[in-house]
Structure 1
Amino acid sequence: MADLSSFPITSRWPAKNPDIIQLYSLPTPNGVKVSIALEELGLTYEAHRISFDTNEQKSPEFVSLNPNGRIPAIIDPNGPDGKPIGLFESGAILIYLAEKTGKLIPADAARRYETLSWVMFQMGGVGPMFGQFGHFFKFAADKVANNPYPVQRYRDEAKRLLGVLEARLEGRQWLMGEEYTIADIATYPWVEGARKFYGGAEVLDYKSFPKVMAWVDRGLARPATQKGMEIPRKE
């Protein structure tokens, strides 16, 4: 049995089975990236729900695994050279899981780097911009009621990014063509989150991006996505 005692987070969220991947997360657009990937890859894992309501992501135990205090994070007891490894940042975790299994990422080097470019496009663009749009549009609407600039700024940037995706998906089923990859898993949960969680579909003019929306729906139809979008479940 693996010894995870060197990870302080396990003192607050003990592993029932320390021999499998430990996931610390919440069903947010960032969090579900990892649960969807784990489901797609068929990896055995144990999910621990990190409550934002009580700021558990800021607790000393969680910060010991992710100094940035953000979900998701994982511990893999069977990391490189068979040693346990803790990882944070959803993009880094997706890359790690793909490379660990040799799945959800092209074997061809050139296509692999192209896939990583689209992962970084999400990490540096779609995630931050959609997140800021959602913050001002839904959660801080009262604070910017007399100043439309924040919503307009992030709305326009989110729509620009949707335009990039729309062009990329011309003639393609997935971002890398016929091959479903971590680039898709990283990205479509954010587009769906802005529609479902932020209620921003009309403001972001989703109807003007039919290829994007068809791609999102293809992703959501996958059994692994349907399961992963609900993990970690409420107890």
Structure 2
Amino acid sequence: MIRTARLLGPVLLLGALLAPAARAETRACAAPPELLEAGAPLPATVRAARAGSLRILVVGGASVLGLGTSGPAAVWPARLEALIAARRPGLTVEVAVRGRRGLTTAEAAALLAAELAQAPAHLVLWATGTVSAVRGLEVDEMVEALNAGLEALKAAGSDAVLIDPQFSRFLRTNANIEPYLGTLRLVAAAHQVPLLRRWELMRHWTETGQVDVERAPKPERVAATDRLNECLAEAMAALLRSGVAEARGQPRP
């Protein structure tokens, strides 16, 4: 089970990423295919998997720490690990989760630098943008921090996947979210890294009635949050499949 420190577990990552999910008891949320395309390769991930050992670092705020879920096993990084671990053993994977509630993009970039100095990562999943939007921080400050963090990852030979904010009616009403979403798309394109468009995915799931945490009755809210995390894990797995396929020169799955 993934904890906020580290987890080792044998999995065959490439087999997991290039195959559909095997958890029959959970119905994944359907999503438009274009939201699951990486648009950029993940070569370091492929090289590490071929060498037999892969370290994944997840960085973010409350959404990666499990607030509102039924427990650590239900958080999307843990569900992603479980999707991979359901496949054949063979690859040693270390998953580290780092972050805290209220983490800004600049603070996350500093955390990344400190973490990389201690232990390199082959693949970094970086969730950011929400705190900047909520606090109305300057977009240029976010861009500067993103550029610094992504350049550091590139210099270290690590793959990166950016993850934009979670969809929220409250946030949409009370914050000017669009500049931050647009900036994350531009930065991802400029650095040629995949972007998990979490905002659009969650809005689609909400509007199609697949999962809606904000309007779930209080007794059902934990279960709805668990389901949201399962769906996010499935979406990330699909995005990684796409990035791995691009790195291997294959058509997108």
The normalised TM-score by structure 1 is: 0.32
Specify which structure has the higher proportion of strand.
2
> Which is greater in Rg?
1
